[in-house]
Amino acid sequence: MSKKRDSSALSNQKAFAFAADTRDETSASMDSDERNTQSDRKRKPSSTYMELPPKKDAHLMGVLIKSSKVEHGATWTKKKCSSEGCSNFAKNGGVCLKHGAQKRLCRMEGCMNGVKNGGVCFMHGAHKRLCRMEGCMNGVIKGGVCIRHGAYRL
């Protein structure tokens, strides 16, 4: 029995040695071009990208250019209140609620609730959009579906 174990251990050592030899030969025969191929890993943008000056069109904000190729970035900033010394975000008219922006109210007489959908509040008929999947009563997050059916939160 000890001879069988010795012979199997010897054959395993030969197999490992053969595998190591073939690995060395294949790596030596590969060109440096083959080793330096692009991987599927995404890289961070390099410093060669330049940001365009701000444009009036909102869809062109955050456009980056590299040589002749245009790539759109997903960056945008909210406008701040134009009142001096205020750091709140602007609602409408370039100012915050504190400095004169008007909150849209429900169009029903005497109702002081904020507008949700169609010019009315939830009490007067603004309905929550429901997921389009049959039988699902969850609210829509994105693309007409809820999180359970494929929408993702931003």
Mean pLDDT by 10 residues, the chain (154 residues): 51 53 50 57 58 50 44 70 87 84 84 83 80 88 85 71
Q: Residue 93 falls within a domain, yes or no?
A: yes
**Whole-number pLDDT of residue 33:** 54
Cα-to-chain-centroid distance, residue 103: 31
Distance CA 52, CA 69 (A): 13
Q: Residue 132 falls within a domain, yes or no?
A: no
**Whole-number pLDDT of residue 115:** 82
Q: Residue 110 falls within a domain, yes or no?
A: no
As separate numbers, helices (DSSP H) first and strands (DSSP E) second, the chain gives: 2, 3
**Whole-number pLDDT of residue 68:** 44
**Whole-number pLDDT of residue 58:** 45
Q: Residue 114 falls within a domain, yes or no?
A: no
**Whole-number pLDDT of residue 16:** 54
Q: Residue 72 falls within a domain, yes or no?
A: no
Q: Residue 144 falls within a domain, yes or no?
A: no
The pTM score is 0.33
CA dihedral of 154, 98, 96, 122, whole degrees rounded to 10: 50
Q: Residue 96 falls within a domain, yes or no?
A: yes
Structurally, how many domains does the chain consist of?
1
Q: Residue 147 falls within a domain, yes or no?
A: no
Domain region containing 87 = 78-102
Q: Which residue has the tokens 């603004």?
A: 126
Of residues 11, 12, 75, the one with CA closest to residue 49: 75
